[in-house]
Chains A and B, each alone.
Chain A
Amino acid sequence: METTAPPLNYLNNGHTIASWLLTKDHKRIALLYLVSITFFFFLGGFFALLVRLELLTPAADLLEPDMYNRMFTMHGIVMVFFFLIPSIPAVLGNFLIPIMIGAKDLAFPRINLLSWYIYVLGGIFTILAALLGGVDTGWTFYAPYSTSASNSNVLLAGVGIFITGFSSILTGLNFIVTVHRMRAPGLTWFRLPLFVWAHYATSLIMILGTPVIAITVLLVAVERAFHLGIFDPALGGDPVLFQHLFWFYSHPAVYIMILPAMGVVAELVQAFSRKNIFGYTFVAFSSLAIAIIGFLVWGHHLFVAGQSTYAGLVFSIISFFVAIPSAVKVFNWTATMYKGSVSWDSPMLYAFGFIGLFSIGGLTGLFLATLGMDIHMHDTYFIIAHFHYVMVGGAIFGYLGGMHYWWPKITGRMYPEGWAKFAALNVFVGFNLTFFPQFIVGYLGMPRRYAMYAPEFQIYNVLSTAGATILGVGYLIPMIYFAWSLKNAPLAGDNPWGARGLEWEIPSPPPTENFPATPIVTEGTHQYAPSREVGIV
């Protein structure tokens, strides 16, 4: 089972700081991202902790309302722009896509490094905004509050988000060109791993959507700095125009967050059922369908803003359409397990969790697409519960599952499985306890972004905070054993899971150039023959 690590791999190929900070190797860049993304995740989690502690009691006793408003805003900004959007693409996508397609690197390695620096620069501005008192507009920074009424660091945070957006755009650009032009001979589109399809679809959204939020943030900054009347009606502007421009990006953005996780789950389900995916073509096209249709539904965030009823009808029906490809994927993943050889290793536990929780999250989205229903639910905790089910139960479970699955490939070490199973269970229980009560208290009418709330809502908030504490512990445990595993865990070998895929045919950790020579692909890379045994190395 144990093999010696290859003498030269991407980790030990250069030890200086410069060899890391000036690297062009996509694998090292992925690790740079891993460090910064983990930092922002815990920063965003810290803000969440303060929010949930305050909400233990109905009164605003722990934090003044003004401070509470800054806390939930920073939680949203950090989690959305600095964790959820980059996480899987920048860490797992960067590391794996070239390997999965048989290439030595992405199409533009230096642009890849530049993306990371841009991300860090944007992050610095945002941290600066936080240190100088934060922002209190909500991560959605609606005008005219954000342009004219808020006296918080809107400009600084806006600059941070603007800059970081370019990191996303460049990553998407890099992935698209890479998938088009760098596939190994014989690797046709329909032999690509579904992880690659998912990232390709994600990249389409990144390049088409992100520029729009960039210009929106720019206009907010310009209006705030020069008092021009773009969104503030007192200056002649239109506040609903802001909402249209903002959500034109921010809705597709949620598909940037979930599609990569779906790609991870497709890989996990195949690897841990030792079966190729059921309905490959349908799953691949579903990723594209979600990306394209996802651009047409933004108005469902404006159902109660007074847009015309007919616009509401159009956005509502298309919002139902966008749900269908997600449903198709869920059924295909489930069907993959049928007559598979299903292992309960920790990555698969995250996949199980994803399938269940994403289903709940997606189905509760249907409530919100339903025009008549959304009126009551808009801006209540029902919405918060819905998006946390898809963002945490979906995207974060996908991220954690992927990190566990590919950890042996990335580091050459196998983390302790017992602790990993425990952490997965911990996260699952904690997550549900945190967010399920929020569906109930949301339907009762508790509004979101409230520092103080009506006393009869307290029980649900207490349950939610208890869950959040358990969830927080569940997030910390992997940090500890992953870090521990780097030096102390057994070597993993090239293919500890007995999985298929080009990444499992090269050493763990991989050499800098990935492959000794450009591979020639002769069949889809995820075939597990029915009667053949699979050797585990």
Chain B
Amino acid sequence: MFTNFPFFPQQASEQAATIDALYFFLVAVTAFFTLLIAVLVAVFAVKFRRKHDTEVGVAIHGSLALELLWTFIPLGICMVMFVWGAQVFFHMTRAPRGAMEIHVVGKQWMWKAQHMDGAREINELHVPIGKPVKLIMGSEDVIHSFSIPDFRVKADVIPGRYNTMWFTASKPGKYHIFCTQYCGTKHSAMIGTVTAMEPADYQVWLSGGSAGGTLAEAGQKLFTDLSCNTCHMENAQGRGPVLKGLYGKQVLLASGQTVTMDDAYIRESVLNPQAKVVAGFQPIMPTFQGLVTEEQLLQIIAYVKSLK
């Protein structure tokens, strides 16, 4: 216990240094003002210590100049923190185009990851260094949160929707994955390991065993098994809209609203088809709630995305 304990997390992602720089700035400001106040209080307490029982202090009512000073200087410093923090936040929440996608599903009390090419992991995540990785995350039950402290990344994993986060690992090694949203009895056991590897090693690992085909191939199989293709045909003769080439486009709904055909929309339409019916089509699609798991949904989404 008293040897070899860490004082500071590793910087194992390209984001980590950015976050740590911001952190050190905040620490410096905190330390400065804490010391300033502590020293002032100590000095005043000593220098003006009561000398006899009936002594009173001098009547000083205030100073507008001082009030303005200690209002606007802290406000200015806070605005620096705000802008810097917002910049970092924008960077952290916008994955670069072409980031390698991995789907993560959290459920009480384990993490399941699916790589696009089909590789599956439980409580583990293998990633190459130097390449941006984007996690698309869903939950099967309650709210979880996926956190890799050494990468400085975290995002809540909420049932009923997808949240994403991204990182670029920079240092090979093994790092903690923690669930950071209380989710029940084994919340503190819902942990895992990220293994960051040199790209070559990652390829070796990847080819090592992904029986079962890519995510999109699994999705295609589901598409047929669940008879989606009987209404969503390749031509416009089906009772449902054509899905080919539709991913990422704007869609007009029967209610007059427009939505983007994205992961969340696909997921919602499978589970709750009446919610956003496309204009010109009847609300006759049956629901698949209870018939597909979160992982299968991700496979179907991967398949629809792949239809170009």
| Interface residues in chain A, defined as those with a beta carbon under 8 Å from any beta carbon in chain B | 60, 65-66, 69, 136-138, 142, 144-145, 148-150, 233-234, 236, 238-240, 273-276, 278-282, 303-306, 309, 312-313, 316-317, 320-321, 323-324, 327-328, 330-332, 334-335, 337-344, 352, 355-356, 359-360, 363-364, 366-367, 369-376, 378-380, 440, 443-445, 447-454, 456-460, 462, 498, 527-530, 532-536
Contacts and interface: CB of A to CB of B under 8 A. Distances in A.
Nearest to B33: A363
The 9 closest A-B pairs by CB, nearest first: A445-B149, A372-B88, A233-B160, A275-B57, A370-B85, A340-B57, A371-B89, A450-B188, A337-B44
B289 to A, nearest CB: 8
A330 B37 contact: yes
Nearest to B55: A341
A355 to B, nearest CB: 6
B53 A498 contact: yes
24 contacts: A65-B187, A238-B160, A304-B154, A304-B155, A316-B85, A334-B37, A340-B48, A342-B44, A342-B57, A366-B78, A367-B23, A370-B26, A372-B18, A372-B19, A372-B89, A374-B85, A375-B19, A375-B152, A376-B23, A444-B149, A448-B180, A451-B187, A454-B176, A457-B5
B45 A459 contact: no
Interface stretch (B66-74, B110-118, B217-225, B231-239): B66-74
A324 B68 CA distance: 11
Nearest to B23: A373
A339 B85 contact: no
Nearest to A137: B182
Nearest to A353: B41
A366 B85 CA distance: 10
A337 B187 CA distance: 49
A306 B163 contact: yes
Contacts of B182: 69, 137-138, 142, 145, 448-449
A342 B50 contact: yes
B60 interface: yes
Given A279-B62, A328-B71, A334-B40, A369 B81 contact: yes
B67 A282 contact: yes
A359 B186 contact: no
Contacts of B91: 372
B112 to A, nearest CB: 18
A532 to B, nearest CB: 7
B143 A339 contact: no
A498 B55 CA distance: 10
B178 interface: yes
Interface string B1-28: 1101111110000000011001100100
Contact of A373 (B22, B33, B61, B142): B22
Contacts of B67: 279, 282, 328, 332
